[in-house]
Amino acid sequence: MRERKYFIETFGCQMNEHDSEVIAGIMEGAGYSAATSIDEADIILFNTCCVRESAEQRILGRISRAGALKKRRPELVIGVGGCMVQYPEGRQRIKTRCPYVDFTFDTTALERLPEILAHHGIPVGCLVGEAIQPKRKSSLCAFVTITYGCDNFCSYCIVPYVRGPQKSRRPEEVIDEVRRLGERGYKEVTLLGQNVNAYGRDFNPTSAGKDWDFGDLLLELDKVPGIERIRYTTSHPRDFQERFIEITARSKKVCEHFHLPVQAGSNKVLRLMNRGYTKEGYLRLVEKIRELIPSASVTTDLIVGFPGEDDRDFEDTMDLVEKVRFDAAFTFMYSPRSGTAAATLPDQVALDVKKKRLERLIRVQNEIAKQINEAQKGKVLEVLVEGPSERDPKMLSGRTRTNKMVHFPGPENLTGHLVNVLITDAPGHTLRGEMTNRATI
C-alpha cells in the first residue's frame, strides 16, 4: 500500500512553529510520513497567523493553491488551524473564501486533533487520548512551551483575543520535558510564551506547591544535565525583573541575550500601546543588564507610525535606539489590525510618513548593528555548531551565546558541539571566524 503523506505549512511565530512540530508528531503517530511538497501530500494542514492582515491575505492565497489541487484530486484533505481560525472574523473569512477546506482545528487544544482527523475518516488508530510527542525539526535545539495565551492586551495586538488568557504549564511538567530533551542529546532549549516573564502568575499557589515564577523556573532548568544553553522568547519589559538579570549573570546555561521588545521610545505612544512601562524604565533595565553582564546582547522589536505618533514621538524612539545601541532590531510599520483597540484610534499616521520614519530607523539601526558586529573582531566566542552552512557546505554555522550567527571552516562532525571561534570578519549581519579549540564534547 502506498505510504500516505502529510504536508504542514506554517505561518507566524516560533509558537506556531512548535505547534506544527506537535501536529507533525500527531500525523506520524497516525502512520503518515512527511511530504516534501504539497503536490505529493494526501493531507495538507495550514497552521495560520493573524497578527497582520497582510499575512492573512497571503495565507488565503496559499490555501487557494491547495484548493486548486483538490479540484484535480478530490480525495485530498485540507485542514486549517492556528490563530486565524481562533477568532470569529478569521474563521468566517476562511469559510467564505475557501469553502473546500475539510475541517478547522484549534491549536490551543491539539490533543483534540486526532479526534477531528478520525471524524474526517483519517485513520489515527490508538493515537486518540495518548500523550502527543512533537516531531522536532532539530535534534540539537528544541522549543518548549511554558505559557499559552496572553493577559496583556497591548492595544495593537490581536493575540489575547485569539489565544485567550495566560495559562502556565506546571513547572514539573516543563522540567521533565527539558530533562528528557537533555537525555536525548539536545543541547539548547528555547522556552516559549507570549510573555514568558509572567510565567506562573496564573498559578494558584497551593496547586503548584509554591509560588513559581520565571526566575525559579530558570534556576531549576539550569541544573538539567546535558542542556548547555537556555533561551526564551518573548519577554515583556514591564515584567522583566532585575532578578532575572542576576540569575542570568550567575547561571552557566541561561544565555546572555536579552530580547526585550520596546516597540516605541515615546512615553505617550507607549501609553497608547498599553505597554505598562516608560522609556526611562526601559533604559534603566538595559543599564542594569550592561552593568551586571557587559558582554550581553540586547535586541528588540520596534513599531513606527503608531496612531498619534508625531515627529517628537518618533525622535524619542530614535533617541532610545541611539542610547541603547541594540545588537539587532525587528522593525515594523504599524498597520491597523481590525478587532484591536488601536485600529480605531484617531490620528492614524499617513503611509508616506510611516515609510520615511521606518527607512530612517532601519538606516540608523543597521549602522549600530554593523559597528557592534565589527567590535567582535579579535574576540574568541563560544559557538554551538548547528551544521554545515546553507550557502557554503565547506563552512559550519552556529550561534554564539549572544545569538549571533557565526560561519567558520570545519568538519561536519562537529555538529552539536560547542567550539571556540576567533572572530576575524563581520560581513553583513553575521560573523566569520576560525576555530581555536573545542570548548566541550
Cα(341)–Cα(274) distance, integer angstroms = 10
**DSSP letter, residue 263:** B
Q: Which stretch binds ligand SF4 (CB under 6 A): 146-154, 239-247, 369-377, 422-430?
A: 146-154
**DSSP letter, residue 182:** H
Rg of the chain on CA atoms, in Å = 23
x-marked contacts with ligand SF4 along 190-209 as a string, rule CB under 6 A: ----xx--------------
Cα(193)–Cα(93) distance, integer angstroms = 27
Which residue number, 113 or 162, has a Cβ lying nearer to ligand SF4? Answer: 162
Which residue number, 44 or 154, has a Cβ lying nearer to ligand SF4? Answer: 154
210, β-bridge pairs: none
CB of 261 to ligand SF4, least distance (A): 7
Burial 180-193 (b: 16+ CB within 10 A, else e): ebbeeebbbbbbbb
Cell 492595544, residue located: 155
Residue 299 touches ligand SF4, criterion: CB under 6 A = no
Residues 230-269 that bind ligand SF4 (CB under 6 A): 236
The cell for 283 is 533604559
CB of 66 to ligand SF4, least distance (A): 28
Cα(163)–Cα(110) distance, integer angstroms = 13
Is residue 381 within 8 Å of residue 435, measured between CB atoms? no
State which of residues 157, 224, 264, 358 lies at the interface with ligand SF4 (CB under 6 A).
157
Q: Which stretch binds ligand SF4 (CB under 6 A): 19-27, 157-165, 280-288, 333-341?
A: 157-165
State which of residues 14, 153, 223, 412 lies at the interface with ligand SF4 (CB under 6 A).
153
Which residue number, 90 or 416, has a Cβ lying nearer to ligand SF4? Answer: 90
The cell for 31 is 502512520
Cα(193)–Cα(172) distance, integer angstroms = 17
Q: Which stretch binds ligand SF4 (CB under 6 A): 151-159, 284-292, 409-417, 428-436?
A: 151-159
Q: Which stretch binds ligand SF4 (CB under 6 A): 150-158, 305-313, 354-362, 416-424?
A: 150-158
CB of 273 to ligand SF4, least distance (A): 8
The answer to whether the bond into 440 is cis (omega within 30° of 0) is no
CA atoms within 13 A on the CB side of 234: 20
The cell for 405 is 550567527
State which of residues 20, 107, 152, 168 lies at the interface with ligand SF4 (CB under 6 A).
152
Cα(366)–Cα(372) distance, integer angstroms = 10
Which residue number, 150 or 396, has a Cβ lying nearer to ligand SF4? Answer: 150
Select from 224, 228, 222, 229 the least CA-distant residue to 247.
Answer: 222
Cα(6)–Cα(76) distance, integer angstroms = 10
Residue 337 touches ligand SF4, criterion: CB under 6 A = no
State which of residues 60, 154, 178, 181 lies at the interface with ligand SF4 (CB under 6 A).
154
Which residue number, 151 or 216, has a Cβ lying nearer to ligand SF4? Answer: 151
CB of 387 to ligand SF4, least distance (A): 31
Q: Which stretch binds ligand SF4 (CB under 6 A): 19-27, 109-117, 145-153, 378-386?
A: 145-153
Residue 150 touches ligand SF4, criterion: CB under 6 A = yes
Q: Which stretch binds ligand SF4 (CB under 6 A): 55-63, 149-157, 205-213, 304-312?
A: 149-157
120, β-bridge pairs: none
Which residue number, 142 or 150, has a Cβ lying nearer to ligand SF4? Answer: 150
Residue 159 touches ligand SF4, criterion: CB under 6 A = yes
Residue 15 touches ligand SF4, criterion: CB under 6 A = no
Angle at 389 between CA 137 and CA 293, to 5 degrees: 80
Angle at 440 between CA 437 and CA 441, to 5 degrees: 105
Residues 49-68 that bind ligand SF4 (CB under 6 A): none
CB of 238 to ligand SF4, least distance (A): 9
405-409/431-440 β-pairing:
parallel
Q: Which stretch binds ligand SF4 (CB under 6 A): 153-161, 170-178, 183-191, 220-228?
A: 153-161
CB of 276 to ligand SF4, least distance (A): 9
395-400/380-388 β-pairing:
antiparallel
Three-state secondary-structure class, residue 246: helix
Site of interaction with ligand SF4 (CB under 6 A): 150, 152-154, 157, 159-160, 194-195, 236
